[in-house]
Each structure stands twice: as C-alpha cells, then as structure tokens.
Amino acid sequence: MEVGHKKLEARYPQILRSALQRPGLILGTVALMGIATWMAAGKVGRELLPEVMQGEITAELYFPSGNPLSETDMVSSRIDSRLREIDGVSKSVVVSGADRESVSSNEEGPHVSRITISIEETGNRRALESQVETELRTFLAKQPEIARFELSRPTLLATKTPLEIEIISEDFAQLRKVSDQVMEELHGLPGLVDLRSSIRRGNPEVLVVLNRERLAAHNLNLSQIAARLRMAVEGEVSTTFAESDERLDVRVRADFAHMSSVEQLRDLPINPESERPLPLSAVAELHTTFGPSEILHLGSQRAAVLSGSIASNRVDLGALTTAIEEKLAQIEVPYGVELRIGGQKHEMEEALASLNFALLLAIFLVYAVMAGLFESLLQPLIIMASVPLAAIGAIWALLATGTPLSVVALLGLVVLAGIVVNNAIVLVDRINRNRDDGQELDDAILEAGKARLRPILMTTFTTVLGMLPLTGWLWFIGSAEGTELRAPMALVVIAGLLSSTMLTLVVIPVIYRGLTLLTTRTANV
C-alpha cells in the first residue's frame, strides 16, 4: 500500500498540472457526467423503506363466507402440515377463526385462519425467504377450499399497505362496477400480488321484504315488524341482576333452536299478543343473499379500496405505481367517480419531499458556516462543488446495484452533504495559505494538492472502511439482521465519498484557478 501511495504522490502533481492547463476539457467532462447522472437518476427505483427479511411470513387464508369453524380449522391444519414440508420452514403456528363480537373487521370470523411461518436461520436468509414465499404462493393457489389468500411480513414504520387504489363515488353500484374493472385491468401485472378489493361478498344474510298493503290490512307497520325481528334475533334487556358489586343485564330472546333456519324465521309470530297471531311469511317475503363485507367511507364519501403487495425482488414501489397509473389511464371512469392511488406511495412522497428539503437545508447551512469562516461568498461556492460530485457516485451506485432510492438512501445523501466538503475545505485552505505566503497561483495549487493528498486519502478510506460492515458485503462478518435497512445509506455514503474524493482532487483546483483569474480580470477592468 505504501508503494502504491508513493507512486500516486509522484503521479498526482503531473495529473493536476495537466488538468490546470485544460480547464475546458475537465469542466466539460464533469458537466457531461452530471447530465448523464441526472438522466440516470430517473431510472433509479423508489420505495419508502427497504424490505427487511425478518424470517417470518404470515399467510392469511380466507374460506367462503359462512364456512363453519370446524371445517376452517380442519383444512387449515392439513395445509399447515403440508407447509412444514417446504424446505426452509422451521415451524408454523395456526390460528383458526375469531370471535365476531371481539373483532372490528367483517373479514374476521370462522371462515378466516392465519398461519405464521418461521424461516430457518441460514447464511443467505433473504434468498431462502424469497424461495419459501414463492413455494407458498404456488402451493396455496392450488388449494380448492381457499377462496383467496394473502402473504405478508412484519413491517417497519410503514402504517399502510404498499399499494392502495381508492375509488370514490356515492353510487354503490358504480363503486362495484369500477372496482371490478380495475381488478380485471391490474390482474397479472408483473410485481403486483395479493390484489384484493374491499367490496367482497360478505356473510350470508336473510333479506326481509315487507308487503305494505298486507301490513295495512292487519293494522301493522314497519317499526313493529322491525322491533319484533330485533327482539327475536338479538334479544332485549328486560331487567338487571345484582350480584355482589356487579349488575348483570338479563336479555330475553328467542331460543336459537327455533331460529336456526329460514323456514323457522318465516313462521315467527309477528303479533303474538293478537288472538290470531300471524307468521312473518304472511306479510313479507324472505330471500337468502350475501351482503357486502364492509362499506368504507373516506371523509364523508362512500369508497372502495383496492389494496395489494409488491412481489419480493421483482419491482420497486415507484416503478409499480407508474405501471398502475398507466393501466388506470386506460379505464373509462363514469362521471362522479374518482380514482386515486394511496397507500405507502403517499407516505413515500411525503417522506422523500421532507428529506429533499432537509438536504437543501443542510447544503445551505454548510455554505453559511463556510462563508463565515472564509469571510468570502465565492470560495464556499467552490467548496460546495464537491456535493454534486458526490451525487454522481451515489446515483450510479444505486443504479448499478439495483437499490431503490428510499428514505434510508436519502439520509445517506444528507450525511454526504456534510462530510464530502471536508476534503475541499482542507485543499482550498492550503491554497489560500500558500498564496498568502507569496506563491504564484499555479504553484500554490500544485503544492497544496501534493501536501493534502495523503490526509484527504486517509480521511476518505478510513470513513469507507468504517461504513463497509453496514453493507453486508464482508463475507467473514456475514449479513446480520436488519442489514437491508442500513445497506442503502452505507452504499450512498461510500460511493459518494469515493467519487467526490477522486473528482475533488482535480475539479476543485481547476474551479479555484478559473474563478480566481476571472475575479482578478474583473477587478482590473
């Protein structure tokens, strides 16, 4: 290493002298690199946070509505035993059904089960987890008893599903129609999995259609029939019972043994106090149907929400959102219906916008501090040129490794704005001291470059070596849990610092010399 450093110290002054003699070529080349980087930045994916493999996958199985708990548990247990045979699965836990009175979602109930699957700890857990997920999808898709299924992982910080398409309209029929159109249009879109709509067939229910003429003929009204049905099905609190310090409600309702079928409901007396009680079927028609699983409202407007997940290692959130927007543009939306994309896309845009502001603020604060220290407005601008030089390396590193621009990666850019200026500061400061000592401009620049080469390289390489363990690239350390979350920031800092250092050693002296000559000529005019 020492031999290489000495060769570089001997070669660097020649490179710097040649660059000072060809400022147009140097600055033109850097400008072209900047333009190419700007164009490449549009091809970098975007996401809110990197997907962290935590060794756990949850499979939510949805059986047909009304499925009895015994059958749900039997089929789920059989599926669980088969899932344990998949290579890479260490253990699994099944939870079948849920108490309807203790849950808030209509999708909870005896027809829902969850299987939590743990993945074996291996050297390359990310690849193993992706393989297990693929096999899970293939296996579950072949199970005829399951109406649909969803796979999910534990999430970090994000509060919404990756993708949500909100359909807003006061007309429920239009909501259903447009929801079906969007589902059909997006079906099979690469990278989009577990697409589901909030408008689904709910639990079986009995629809009672009352005949107003018959009600009037028997001196009955709608409220009387509704109250009688409510009391028979749900019951009514007639009194309270005191036991110790507690008061218990006493609810009176019909015996479930006599209310277990539609035929028994048809025979329900609706006016038991009368001398000739009438059955419900005398004034109404009963139909078995399925109600909606849930009716959502966004603000005060009725809405349907389509949600989906992103296939691992297939596509990033930004690219998938763009593809969905192109698909949605092909749908003819009726008047009064609004389509918009939400979910993590909205969170991502807000987070990236906040960090963009933080990046600009960091650049301004660094410039303000240097303007005060150098007592100049021009020289801090020369030093700040090292920031876009760092962005060149960071953007190309993200593109080359296929790493999307996320909140974590953008944090790395904010960090870079504060550390890449250090090399330019020590270089410009040494040039200023040399000129104060009476050296000519070119001599001052060449001497400063040679004198500051070793400190600049030492600072850069120590920082890079300190960041390497965060990338998960060191085979003797391995890939620790959470590496996916830290790696983008480390990648941005390492690549940005390396590109900024290499270009700073050449570009900053050229800019310094050019602006100094320009200001001198302007002052002499």
Residues 371 and 431 placed together within one structural domain of the fold: yes
Q: Which of 124, 155, 186 is the last residue of a domain?
A: 155
Domain that holds residue 230: 203-292
Residues 248 and 328 placed together within one structural domain of the fold: no
Interval 461-470 mean pLDDT: 86
Residue-by-residue DSSP string for 186-224: HTT-TTEEEEEES--EEEEEEEEEE-HHHHHHTT--HHH
Residues 372 and 499 placed together within one structural domain of the fold: yes
Type of residue numbered 487: A
Q: Does residue 328 contact residue 383 with C-beta atoms inside 8 Å? A: no
Tell me, what's the pLDDT at 481? 61
Which of 198-202, 237-241, 383-387, 477-481 tops mean pLDDT? 383-387
Q: Give the total number of structural domains in the chain.
A: 4
Residues 196 and 208 placed together within one structural domain of the fold: no
pTM of this structure: 0.71
Q: How confident is the model at residue 499 (pLDDT cuts 50, 70, 90)?
A: very high
**Is 50 exceeded by the pLDDT of residue 100?**
no
**What is the domain-level CATH number for residue 318?**
3.30.70.1440
Q: How confident is the model at residue 159 (pLDDT cuts 50, 70, 90)?
A: low
Give dist(CA 421, CA 453) in Å, integer.
15
Q: Does residue 283 contact residue 214 with C-beta atoms inside 8 Å? A: yes
**Is 80 exceeded by the pLDDT of residue 158?**
no
* Assigned token pair, 248: 């218990």
Give dist(CA 415, CA 489) in Å, integer.
9
* Assigned token pair, 505: 């050693």
Share of the chain above pLDDT 90, in %: 6
What digits encode the pLDDT tens for the residues 44-71? 888 877 777 677 888 888 887 777 888 8
Q: Does residue 113 contact residue 146 with C-beta atoms inside 8 Å? A: no
* Assigned token pair, 344: 């993590």
Q: Is the dihedral of CA 215, 220, 224, 228 positive or negative?
A: negative
Q: Looking at per-residue confidence, does 251 or 313 come out higher? A: 251
Residues 374 and 451 placed together within one structural domain of the fold: yes
**What is the domain-level CATH number for residue 510?**
1.20.1640.10
Residues 76 and 224 placed together within one structural domain of the fold: no
Non-local (6+) Cβ contacts of 416 within 8 A are: 387, 390, 391, 394, 492, 493, 496, 497, 500
Residues 326 and 395 placed together within one structural domain of the fold: no
Non-local (6+) Cβ contacts of 452 within 8 A are: 426, 427, 430
What digits encode the pLDDT tens for the residues 164-212? 888 888 877 788 888 888 888 888 788 888 787 777 666 677 788 888 8
Residues 186 and 140 placed together within one structural domain of the fold: no
Q: Which of 292, 317, 334 is the last residue of a domain?
A: 292
* Assigned token pair, 231: 């009391």
What digits encode the pLDDT tens for the residues 333-353? 888 888 888 777 777 778 888
Residues 314 and 245 placed together within one structural domain of the fold: no
Residues 265 and 185 placed together within one structural domain of the fold: no
**What is the domain-level CATH number for residue 244?**
3.30.2090.10
What digits encode the pLDDT tens for the residues 65-85? 777 888 888 888 888 888 888
**Is 80 exceeded by the pLDDT of residue 157?**
no
Local structure of residue 261 (DSSP, 8 states): S
**What is the domain-level CATH number for residue 135?**
3.30.70.1430
Interval 216-232 mean pLDDT: 81
Residues 436 and 506 placed together within one structural domain of the fold: yes
Q: Does residue 97 contact residue 112 with C-beta atoms inside 8 Å? A: yes
Residues 334 and 268 placed together within one structural domain of the fold: no
